[in-house]
Homo-oligomer: A and B are copies of this chain.
Amino acid sequence: MTTRTVMSPDELDAALRAIGAARYHNLHPFHQRMRDGKLTRGQVQAWALNRYYYQRQIPIKDAHVLTRLPTPELRRLWRSRLIDHDGDAEGTGGIARWLKLTDGLGLDRAYVESLTGLLPATRFAVDAYIPLVRDRSPLEAVASCLTEMFSPMIISERVSGMLQNYAFVTADTLAYFTPRLTQAPRDVDFALAYVKQHATTREQQDAVLDVLRCKCDILWAQLDALHFAYVEPGLIPPGAFVPETA
């Protein structure tokens, strides 16, 4: 039996980053194809349509986290996430900006919002996020967002790759991502500091590492589903979005 000692905050930080280096969805072939301009318009549409469900559930997830946070101070910090995603007025916030992306890709907005074209596997993966923040400890609920440590990199790859490689993508269409480049680091600064401060036993540290792995799985599984349905073998499940043949 090996002795499992408590990690220092720096060791925990490194262990978290090692999970990202091994499991974050920037490593997924679907992302790499997107970045490299190897997806068709229909495949990019399928990505945006499915990812809309993830975007839409983010504030619900964050409200669950809010129910777990004991102090006004912590809730105020977390509240900024609700504002980022739901906005301050009609047509603002991350969800509205994501719909500008699906608009820009030529998808019908009512169809996107109806969720009828969603891959079932997208729904299962996204829905698996809620129990992470609702049923585990508040510390794990906070830690589940730490994939944001790795998101500026994937976003910049995605944006520059898409602008460079796809005639059907404009900077305006990708407006969703610009604020995320500042929001995600701000959010992660707080969450990472919180986790490093509060995960003080090895059990807590293991739980934090586990929830980050689970969250990476949730992101990864969404790209698996897209890859399987729309790239190879290209088996679109009954009822799911079917791209127009170009």
List A residues at the B interface (Cβ < 8 Å). 59-60, 63-64, 66-67, 72-73, 75-76, 79, 82-83, 85-90, 93, 95-96
Do residues A79 and B75 form an inter-chain contact, with CB atoms below 8 A? no
Closest beta carbon of chain B to A142's beta carbon, Å: 14
Do residues A79 and B72 form an inter-chain contact, with CB atoms below 8 A? no
Chain B residues in 8 Å Cβ range of A96? 72
Complex CA gap A93/B76 in Å reads: 11
Closest beta carbon of chain B to A58's beta carbon, Å: 11
Identify the closest chain B residue to A76 (Cβ).
B86
Do residues B79 and A83 form an inter-chain contact, with CB atoms below 8 A? yes
Known: A66-B66, A67-B67. A72 touches B60 (CB 8 A): no
Closest beta carbon of chain B to A171's beta carbon, Å: 24
Closest beta carbon of chain B to A57's beta carbon, Å: 10
Identify the closest chain B residue to A65 (Cβ).
B63
* A64 interface neighbour in B67, B73, B79, B90, Cβ under 8 Å: B67
Chain B residues in 8 Å Cβ range of A87? 72, 76
* A75 interface neighbour in B63, B67, B72, B75, Cβ under 8 Å: B63
* A59 interface neighbour in B60, B75, B85, B89, Cβ under 8 Å: B75
**14 extra interface residue pairs, beta carbon distance < 8 Å, beyond A63-B75, A79-B79, A82-B82:** A59-B66, A59-B72, A59-B75, A63-B63, A63-B64, A63-B67, A64-B67, A72-B86, A72-B93, A75-B82, A75-B86, A76-B86, A79-B82, A79-B86
